[in-house]
Chain A
Amino acid sequence: MSPSPVRSILERRVIVVSGKGGAGKTTVSAALALAARDAGDRVLLAEVLKDGPIVRNFEPEANPVDYAGRELRPGLTVMHIDPYEALSEYVRLQVGLPRALTSWLRSRSFEQLMDAAPGWRELVVLGKVWHLEQMRDEENRRSFDRIVIDAPASGHGLTFLDVPRVVVSALRGGPLRDEAARVEALVRDPDRTILVPVSLAEELAVQETAELVERVRADVGIHVEAAIANAVSSPPFAPPLKGLAEELEALPAREELGDVPAPGILAACARHLESRAQLHEHYRGELAKRTSLPVVALPLLPEGVRNAKDLQRLANILRAASAVEGESGR
């Protein structure tokens, strides 16, 4: 028996969550971070490259977090690693640029120039992650046990992780190459860093996730151990009640049942849930098959993840899954 896939994920220092747009990367990142925190870890949840509303998973009305970060729960800090902020911090600390020029770094015209320059965003953001991973507090303990990264969607997510490798191979020497080499070593270290692909149990999402995993294995060399299938419906009826939808269909469809909907409606609801569950079951299997990875399923909550309570539910499922022994590897 090997440890459960969720446990191996939550043992890594840097947990990079990526996947198809709309698959729920942000929610899954937040749930993983919360699960790690509940297990007693000090956790940093970082949003990169885009300023999405990750914090809304915890507090629906909250303002977005910035580069300084905010401790949302004891032991759980959320921040947005903005590339321009990371660059100006880097330039200030490492290059020793005059202050006047660092303010120029934030100007619109500089952004326009930098918009056309490839690669630097990824590198400075990952450089910041490296720095956060190394960070120690006054008592020389690690500042964060886990860093969960809500990474860009699949295509861009790969570029994101691959930049240090490209920079290392493109440069012959110098401080920048050293910086990139440090970052690359972190990204490619299977004991410290893991990629968690998030998919929906649907054809297009599974397809894209399989391509992501294939390219990660071929090019990027970041460790992948399990995929997460998000928003998976479960069948409406437990096995002993399996024939219930047929039984409802056999009743007169429009019969009045007071405050209970007519049998035809009950049957249609049950059928809809059944067919979605079958579809998801099928594609959950496809996800495992096409990625050759064990799949961790998170349930579809009928009303979505609306608040901290819903998020906690997902975090609890992940924690419970990390406690059980998993099936062996692949």
Chain B
Amino acid sequence: MKKATHLLEILHTRRVVVCVGTGGVGKTTIAAALAIAAARSGRRALVVTIDPARRLADALGGADLGNDPRELTGDPLIEASNGSLHAVMLDPKSTLDDMVGRFSSSPEARDRILDNRLYQHISGALAGSSEYAAMERVSELLDGGDFDILVVDTPPAQHAFDFLDAPRRLLEFFESRIVQVLVQPALRVGRLGLGVFQRGTRRLISLIEGFSGLSFLEDLSDFLLAFDEISTRFQNRAVELRRVLTGPESAFVLVGAPRPDLSQSGAALLERLISEGVPLAGVIINRMRTWPGGGDVPTALVEFEGELQGTDRLAERLPRSSEPQRDRAKAAIQAAREYALGVTCDRHQVSELREAAVDRHLFFQWIPQLERDVHDLGGLDRVVHALFDPANETRHD
């Protein structure tokens, strides 16, 4: 049977590891932990994040964290291994601005785009623009050659594949029939006259303009005129980016948390990622409640609601105190039962995804729910340890 590539091997050999998953599951934390692990194995690692929560940003370098990589020092294991750890926080807007600058034929052409109000809006808000900028920056940093491995934390998205889809969606927008229809006359005459439209369309356009507070179509036509010049290069770039990110040097990791949305759609998401050509290497589940000692939850505890036979044996062993021993034994068993229900519930939430991962020969690992939140380097260190504890992975043999 084909075996899953182990996470360690991925961190040793790949140049890009991309963490995808829905918001709130701890993608940034996992990405940071993977980068630390890679650095400790002697690689020059860079963790690329977008808008991390403030405390985690502090852990990764605080206020200085920005669009340029910053080295994080102080981890003795990284120093001992000759690896290094850098972090960068993407600024999607300035990345797109830079790109427009590079692709434009002249400073005037560049400014025409940058000053366009629609561009200013799109660069910040159009679906996919921050994902696109992330891909662009990742590619730049790879080309720069300063790092052996980039671990990328993708922007919070409703769907994990939004990330790879972003350039396509961005281009689809510009090439869409509606944009062509609305703007073609403008492209031809160089200026948009609303007279070309029928009365109903004109009312609709003024409605849109009213909603958006922009002279929307004028801005759009200006923008497209300016953008026309760079769009071919933009498009080639998008194709190239996708090729790099889905190529043999990349690996994607699906990050999830044991929540109802995962049990409803996790396995389908995994299949979809694979069918879209994403080089998915495995799944990491964050914050799993696990049974002490790693074994199975005793079935008697969760399935039998009455008093367990061993209650008296436990009661006899407890020291005497003001509260009856039997009551205390029952309370202790009840607490274990409550915890066991949680463990069982979490296992149930991930079970389908786990089966799908095993079927597809992917690694499947989890991080036990830690007793404290992770928002500093100490917390990240605990996550790294948990990641490489063999008790926290599904083995395929």
Residues of A within 8 A of B (CB): 20-23, 50, 53, 56, 91, 95, 97-98, 100-101, 107-110, 112-120, 123-124, 153, 166-167, 170-171, 174, 176, 202-204, 207-208, 236-238, 240-241, 243-244, 247-248, 250-251, 255, 257-261, 263-266, 268-270, 272-273, 275-276, 279, 302-306
| A303 CA / B207 CA spacing, docked (Å) | 48
Residue from A118, A120, A260, A279 in contact with B371 in the complex, judged by beta carbons closer than 8 Å: A279
The answer to whether B179 and A112 have CB atoms under 8 Å apart is yes
The 10 closest A-B CB pairs, nearest first, are A22-B24, A260-B310, A120-B211, A268-B292, A258-B310, A109-B178, A236-B335, A21-B23, A269-B339, A303-B345
**Residue B309 contacts which of A101, A259, A304 (CB distance < 8 angstroms)?**
A259
14 A-B contacts (beta carbon < 8 Å): A21-B22, A97-B200, A112-B179, A116-B121, A117-B216, A171-B213, A176-B207, A176-B210, A241-B328, A244-B332, A261-B336, A263-B314, A266-B336, A275-B371
B189 interface residue, CB < 8 Å from A?
Answer: no
Rounded to whole angstroms, the CA-CA distance of A258 and B307 in the bound complex is 12
Determine the distance from Cα of A110 to Cα of B317 in the docked complex, in whole angstroms: 73
Residue pair B375, A203 in contact (C-beta under 8 Å): yes
Name B251-295 residues within 8 Å CB distance of A.
257, 259-261, 264, 289, 291-293
Contact B53 A208 (CB under 8 A): yes
Minimum CB–CB distance from B184 to chain A (whole Å) comes to: 13
Q: Work out how many contacts link A and B, with CB atoms closer than 8 A.
A: 200
Asked if B115 is at the interface (CB within 8 A of a chain A CB), the reply is no
- B228 contacts the other chain (CB 8 A): no
Residue of B nearest to A203 (CB): B373
A279 with B372, Cβ < 8 A, contacts A266-B333, A270-B332 known? yes
Assuming the contacts A236-B338, A269-B292, asked whether A118 and B121 have C-beta atoms less than 8 A apart, the reply is yes
Determine which of A120, A269, A279 lies in contact with B373 in the assembled complex, contact meaning CB atoms within 8 Å: A279
- Measured as residues with beta carbon below 8 angstroms from the partner, the interface class of chain B is 35 or more
B362 to chain A minimum Cβ distance, whole angstroms, is: 24
Q: Is the Cβ of A20 less than 8 Å from the Cβ of B200?
A: no
Residue of A nearest to B24 (CB): A22
Are B313 and A258 within 8 A (Cβ)?
yes
Q: Are B336 and A269 in contact (CB under 8 A)?
A: yes
B 333-355 binary contact with A (CB < 8 Å = 1; else 0) = 11110111110110000000000
Instruction: Digitize B182-215: 1 where CB-to-A-CB distance is under 8 Å, 0 elsewhere.
Output: 1000000000000000001101100110111110
**A residues less than 8 Å from B122 (CB atoms):** 116
| Max chain A C-beta neighbours (<10 A), residue from B55, B122, B260 | B260
Flag if B126 contacts A116 (CB, 8 Å): yes
Q: Which of B319, B342, B344 contacts A247 (CB 8 A)?
A: B319
Residue of B214, B319, B332, B338 with highest tally of chain A CB at under 10 A: B332
